[in-house]
Structure 1
Amino acid sequence: MTTATLSEFRANQSDYIAAAQKAPVELTSRGAKRRAVVVSPEFFDRAIQALEDQADIADAAKARSENERISHR
């Protein structure tokens, strides 16, 4: 993972955004304090989908444990 300070990011935004298309870019402030991570839109979309899938799996497991009917709509 590429790491840059916020100052470096401001000075070279296009370079870091291009790098984020291949791998996340961690932005730090005041030394090692992580402030943000820049990722590609595709990475973001996959991450959100994975979180939603995990929530659906957890909801289904809870419904099964409560002997509720599971809708597959």
Structure 2
Amino acid sequence: MTSVTLSQFRSHQSECIAAAQREPVEITSRGAGRRAVVVSPEFYDRAVQALEDQADVLAAADARREAGRVSHEELQREIGL
């Protein structure tokens, strides 16, 4: 990951954004440490999708652990199939 200071980012925004198309660019600030990370839209989309997928997996696991589960056969009888 490339790392630049906030003042470097201000001076070289277009270069930093171009670099972010290849790898994340960390923006740091004296005294505050890491302030932001610039990534490509594709990287961002993949990261959001992965987080959503993980949330779905966890929700499904929670649902399977719930008491009062109904089997597929019971559900079919209940809805008249």
Give TM-score scaled by structure 1 length. Answer: 0.89
- Based on CA coordinates, which of the two structures has the bigger radius of gyration? 2
How many aligned residue pairs are there? 69
Structure that is richer in helix per residue: 2
Q: How much identity, in percent, do the aligned residues show?
A: 70
CA distance in 2, matches of 1:44, 1:10: 22
Per the alignment, residue 44 of structure 1 pairs with 44
Structure 1 stretches of at least 4 aligned residues deviating more than 6 Å after TM superposition: none
**Helix, strand or coil at the partner of 1:22:** coil
Q: Deviations over 1:4-36 (max 9, x none)?
A: 000000000000000000000000000570000
CA distance in 2, matches of 1:63, 1:6: 45
Q: Which runs of 5+ in 1 are unaligned?
A: none
Root mean square deviation of aligned Cα = 1.5
* 22-31 vs 54-63, greater mean Cα deviation: 22-31
Give TM-score scaled by structure 2 length. Answer: 0.80
Per the alignment, residue 10 of structure 1 pairs with 10
Per the alignment, residue 56 of structure 1 pairs with 56
CA distance in 1, matches of 2:32, 2:39: 19
Q: Which runs of 5+ in 2 are unaligned?
A: 71-81
